[in-house]
Amino acid sequence: ARKLKQLAQKEGATLFMVLMAAYQTLLHRYSGQQDFAVGSPVANRRAPELEPLIGFFVNMLVMRADASGDPTFRSFLHRVRQVCLDAYSHQDVPFDKLVEELQPPRDPSRNPFFEAVFVLQNVPQPALRIPGLLARYV
């Protein structure tokens, strides 16, 4: 994890962006697709007054992956970084509104924009203590 954080810092990215780039690289290699999208939830609590409130504020972001031109990982990471920053700047737009405005072809068995989701839990997890069992978060 330390080396991943160092890479993120060196490239002006976050750990999330590095891991998203790795995930999208994996999807690209296994699927052969060069242009696809990955969903990712955001807490959507940008205003400080929303932090203590109880409620479901999560919104899904659509992160487009462009693996055209066979980029190096660092080059791809820079693309992913920009996509993430753009998506974050529009995270207040509800996913339902995006679907309503863009009117993609609908199929009830699929999400209209993505088939893969990436989630990074960056909230410190409490220690899990169960007598006689060693457990840790990965």
Encoded tokens for 45: 């609590």
Question: Looking up tokens 């055209």, which residue turns up?
Answer: 68
CA distance 3 to 88: 25
| pLDDT above 70: residue 115 | yes
pTM equals: 0.82
CB atoms within 10 A of CB 59: 19
What would the mean pLDDT of 33-53 be, rounded to a whole number? 85
CATH superfamily of 2-117: Nonribosomal peptide synthetase, condensation domain (3.30.559.30)
Domain boundaries, the chain: 2-117
| pLDDT above 70: residue 137 | no
Q: Tell me: the pLDDT tens digits for 54-90? A: 777 789 999 999 999 999 999 999 999 999 999 999 9
Q: How far is CA 122 from CA 32, 43, 66, 137, in A?
A: 30, 11, 25, 12
pLDDT at 43: 84
CA distance 137 to 36: 30
What would the mean pLDDT of 104-121 be, rounded to a whole number? 91
Name the more confident of 128 and 68: 68
